[in-house]
Chain A
Amino acid sequence: ETGVTQSPTHLIKTRGQQVTLRCSSQSGHNTVSWYQQALGQGPQFIFQYYREEENGRGNFPPRFSGLQFPNYSSELNVNALELDDSALYLCASSQFREGQETQYFGPGTRLLVL
């Protein structure tokens, strides 16, 4: 167990709707990253937050947005859902320490867009 939790575990939405996914970081971690994993693919980096600020972004459109809170928990928001947004969404928390940082992943939220 990594100590990273995500909610909900599963979600079904329809095209055009909006969704919010949540992540609680491992205790002491101040950085959170979000990844999208389509079926049969490796995870793709969406963005990273460090101390409540976006700290890097992958090749995802602006309708993918995020927040990090003072307690370092995080949300991923997706607007105007498309069918191709169906995927497993993973968050990973990390702490930069002694010159090295390692990301620990939560179990993911499986999103199905109909």
Chain B
Amino acid sequence: GEDVEQSLFLSVREGDSSVINCTYTDSSSTYLYWYKQEPGAGLQLLTYIFSNMDMKQDQRLTVLLNKKDKHLSLRIADTQTGDSAIYFCAESMGYGGSQGNLIFGKGTKLSVKP
């Protein structure tokens, strides 16, 4: 069945790099996403990666995809206190370019200590 797993908590010091990991089960997923949710707010799209890519970099964010192991990671360089939030990994169950419905993990709560 469809399942996305994430570790629940991560704590880092300001200025360090954060790495949030995710595993997914559906090898037919064409897109994988990272969303950020701050307290009391909706979801903010951070970045996404096509399943035929290994890596994508976007400013402080680096996404690594190991399709063989169905493992996705999000690295945040120079983590700031404003990065404290819950980060969700999601796989797309759509076809072609359609996102269809997203399957989300339970989220990783990132705490950044000054």
Which A residues are closer than 8 A to B by beta carbons? 2, 4, 6, 33, 35, 40-45, 48, 56, 58, 90, 92, 94, 96, 98-108
Contacts and interface: CB of A to CB of B under 8 A. Distances in A.
Contacts of A2: 42, 44
A51 to B, nearest CB: 13
B102 A43 contact: yes
Nearest to B35: A105
A101 B98 contact: yes
Interface of B: 4, 31, 35, 41-45, 48, 88, 90, 94, 96-107
Contacts of A107: 41-42
Q: Nearest 5 A-B pairs (CB), nearest first?
A: A42-B104, A45-B101, A105-B43, A99-B97, A100-B97
B103 A45 contact: yes
A43 B43 contact: yes
B42 A105 contact: yes
A94 B99 CA distance: 9
Given A42-B4, A42-B88, A56 B44 contact: no
A48 B100 CA distance: 8
A102 B96 contact: no
